[in-house]
Chain A
Amino acid sequence: MLFDLELMTPFWEWFTTVGLLNGVLLIAALSAIGFAVCYIVAVYLYGPSEGFYVIAEVISKFFRDDLPKTSFRRIAAFARLAFQEAIRRKVLAVFAVFVVGLMFAGWYLNPGADDPAKLYISFVMTSISYMMMMLGLFLSSFSLPADIKNRTIYTIVTKPVRPTEIVLGRILGFTLVGTLLLVVMGIVSFIFVSRGIVHYHEMEPMVANARKGISTYDARHSHTVTFSEDGTGVTDEVKSHKHTVSVREVDGKKVYEFGPPEGSLQARIPVFGKLDFTGRDGSKGDGINVGYEDTRRKYIDGASLSSAIWTFDDVAESRFGENLNVEMTITAYRTFKGDIVTGVRGSLILRSPDGKVESERIPFIVKEYQLDRIVVPSKLKGFRDGQPQELNLYQDLVQAGQLQVIIRCNDRSQYFGMAPPDLYLRAGDAPFLWNFFKGFLFIWFQMVIVICFGVMFSTFLTGPVAMIATVSVIALGFFGSIASGSLSGEIVGGGPIQALIRTVTQQSPTLPIEVGAEWLAEGIRFVDQGILGLLTVLTNALPNFPTLISTADFVAHGINLFEGLVIRHSAVTFGYLCLTTIISYFFLKTREFAA
């Protein structure tokens, strides 16, 4: 899995560079569009000056009267009603569907998978996140239209009730229903995951007092057990876990007891660095492009001076512990097959940023598609100015908090591929339960955003249409990256007009289009850029569901969800809440309920 390092940006840095700007742009764009549309309608109905006055009145009413007088008690009354409605309309049946789903899933999820915990976690989190989105969608888009259709709204708006309260009350109520379900589902799925991976082994018959033995084949794998002096044993790591083995003497016979699997449910805290490449001759380079293997990974040549150099900041013993854990997922690109079982060899070197002190080569064999773990001891052999020396990791190699990690490929004509997130230093672990909780927090954010949009659309659309509109927002959020990708040229082929011409005339997307005249082609490109620019702005405004959903991968892969990301998405969710509430307010305020 390749993490998006952008997600690791600290909150304030994100907020000041991206978040605030996007928010302000979005508010400005929406206000301008909203005002323009309303003014056109108002001019049609009341004439130019009267129309302006009417709009100004509505806007000033919001800030002067309705917003300050919005009462939390009435919001709570609506929330309570929404909650009662959801419960009495038997929304909790969703939960039953979930439990039944889990029961069947238990049959079909393969316990022999490489990492069963990963499989289980991503199954429960993905299924819950889609279920909660559906729930939010149905709850939010049908409630208000039903009230308007049944005219129940007559008895509401003739009470001292403000539109903000109607909207916020609903959002709050449905969120409560969703939260309740989510909490229960979270608990059930935590039990499902943690129980699902539990298994035990026994010892195969072994030579008396041997230091090594083999466990029985259970849960589709077996371990090699190594016993230490004091008699306790530890297994090797298979399928991302190991067991501890204790030995007791019963009636003069040794009885081996395996503990539960350890290490399946983790939340590693990664520290990422900056990646640079050097070319074959050791000079600065960009890494080799081996073709359409992976768009983000660059490659280095084997048995040459070409290397990948990660530079890390703030490296200190207090942060990483005595031994430095380097974890990486390096891909190998083979130009010949050779011995496929052996794997491609590489070496890792730690170096000080000024290049004067470096460690000995630490050799490794790339485990493709799996995590390679290298533990670097604090005392190691190395070189200072080319002279062999005993080095201390934190005192000699780390300078001003910085440390470089160099990866080289040792096999001629083979290549290593890597992107910045492929190698990280592990700064200990966070509690898995906390990480699991954070993962569910992201599902909650998703649900709240869906509810906000559903309620917003339901203030001016009928139920089914509001639902389709909300689904469209979610779907567009998924495809938003296509517009920005086309604009930046990352996705070849140009914008919609060019794409249409290419489709019809069967022209290659990688070549400039030919339409007979260069000025025409230039014009088409210009219009396309305009369309794509607009689309990019609009899609930036849409909730980023792919990111939200991808957080399940963090939990599943045992990577701690960065707190800054949690804060960022709380801010984004809060932003959407405010935005949709304000838009809903204006739709409700200008709506004739009895029309």
Chain B
Amino acid sequence: MALKLETAAPKPTPKPVEPVIETRSLGKIYRDFWGRKKVYALKSLDIEVRQGEIFGLLGPNGSGKSTTIKLILGLLFPTSGRAFVFGKDSTDVSKNERVGYLPEESYLYKFLNAEETLDFYGRLFEMPADIRRARTERLIKMVGLERSRRRQLREYSKGMTRRIGLAQALINEPDLLVLDEPTTGLDPLGSKDMKDLILKLRDEGKTILLCSHQLADVQDVCDRIAILHQGELKELGRVDSLLKVRDVTEVHAKGLSDQAKLEIQELIKRHGGEVLSVDNPTTTMEELFLDIVRQSEDRPGHRSGG
């Protein structure tokens, strides 16, 4: 695992890597106005996010994913424990120089257009005008908003808002990217783009923390995940090893006759194995949809499939 980590990070600094994010028995209790305890949102969480990995926080609604992210960003103050980002306390403003954050919904100024939005956030990093302009240009192109760059955000669709939100998070070329539900509100195509982008950013050496309740997303992109439920950490580990079922073997074959299938089952039985199921594989809805859209882009005006 450590080996994989070093190859993924292109930066030529193979020093013993300090975790990008570290939480130490981080806990959060929501209180009402009078200070009475209302909800245990998070109980004593200990996680480490290392440089160059995509770390996923997974869990049902209300499991404490968003709370964790907000605690790490300093939007909430921990009731117990502490969170560190780049070795600095989560409430320290200066850590934000290297952090990009895409909130659950893109909360941006609706009276600004895309260019002005990126320009404004660039100014908050005290970027010189030429760099600001170059990055704005590049990010608008990257998220595919060239045609709507002069429109006020109030006119944007949800997907477009999401894109400009992402561009905003990348304006400072952050080392750590925190994404809260990155694919919500996106159509499958947009969702795919987002996931590709996340992988690409990881390959550029960025560390990514995301949370989601869409299992497919997490499975597709995350290197490691933490599963939260009712504010408690339930599982932590690499996605591939968590999902691997050791005593089950999968065989994919094409063009077999029914006779051949029967023979294979016989063979398995003879070796003391147990056949669980024999089936023609179905594709996922997402794959089907992406397939159709791609075909339609190749041949506009035709109904796909046939």
Contacts and interface: CB of A to CB of B under 8 A. Distances in A.
A159 B125 contact: yes
A162 B103 contact: no
B75 A152 contact: no
A158 B152 CA distance: 23
Interface in A77-126: 77, 80-81, 84-85, 88-89
A139 B107 CA distance: 21
B124 A592 contact: no
A84 to B, nearest CB: 7
Contact of B101 (A77, A84, A154, A592): A154
Max chain B Cβ within 10 angstroms of own Cβ: one of A69, A71, A88, A154 = A154
Interface string B61-83: 00000000010011111000000
Given A44-B35, A74-B123, A592 B107 contact: no
Contacts of B165: 155
B103 A151 contact: yes
A60 to B, nearest CB: 14
Given A81-B120, A595-B76, A154 B107 contact: yes
Contacts of B101: 154-155, 158
Chain B interface bracket (under 10, 10 to 19, 20 to 34, 35 or more): 20 to 34
A69 B96 CA distance: 14
Interface string A548-568: 000000000000000000000
B107 to A, nearest CB: 4
B31 to A, nearest CB: 9
A73 B111 contact: no
A65 B93 CA distance: 10
Contacts of B152: 88
B121 A159 contact: yes
A202 interface: no
A159 B124 contact: yes
Contacts of B76: 592, 594-595
Given A155-B121, A159-B125, A84 B116 contact: yes
Contact of B111 (A69, A89, A151, A156): A89
Interface in A144-197: 150-162
A150 B107 contact: yes
Given A155-B101, A594-B75, A160 B93 contact: yes
A151 B116 CA distance: 19
B75 A154 contact: yes
Given A161-B96, A592-B75, A152 B35 contact: no
B147 to A, nearest CB: 22
Nearest to A86: B111
Contacts of A84: 111-112, 116
Contact of B126 (A73, A151, A157, A592): A73
Nearest to A161: B124
A6 B93 CA distance: 47
Contact of A88 (B75, B111, B125): B111
A207 interface: no
A77 B118 CA distance: 12
Given A80-B120, A84-B111, A158 B96 contact: yes
A85 B121 CA distance: 15
Contacts of A158: 73-75, 96, 99, 101
A159 B77 CA distance: 17
B289 interface: no
A570 to B, nearest CB: 29
A152 B120 CA distance: 13
Interface in A48-73: 65-66, 69, 71, 73
Interface in A20-51: 44-45
Contacts of A85: 109, 111
Interface string A408-435: 0000000000000000000000000000
Contacts of B124: 74, 77, 156, 159-161
B123 A77 contact: yes
A156 B171 CA distance: 13
Given A45-B35, A77-B120, A159-B96, A154 B77 contact: no
Interface string B85-123: 000000001101101010101111101100010001101
A44 B37 CA distance: 13
Contacts of A595: 30, 76
A166 to B, nearest CB: 10
Contacts of B123: 73-74, 76-77, 80
A172 to B, nearest CB: 14
A157 B116 contact: no
Contacts of A155: 101, 103, 106-108, 121, 165, 168
Given A65-B93, A159-B96, A161-B93, 20 more contacts: A73-B126, A74-B126, A77-B120, A81-B120, A84-B116, A88-B111, A151-B103, A151-B107, A152-B108, A154-B101, A154-B107, A155-B101, A155-B106, A155-B108, A155-B121, A156-B124, A160-B125, A161-B124, A592-B75, A594-B75
Interface of A: 44-45, 65-66, 69, 71, 73-74, 76-77, 80-81, 84-85, 88-89, 150-162, 592-595
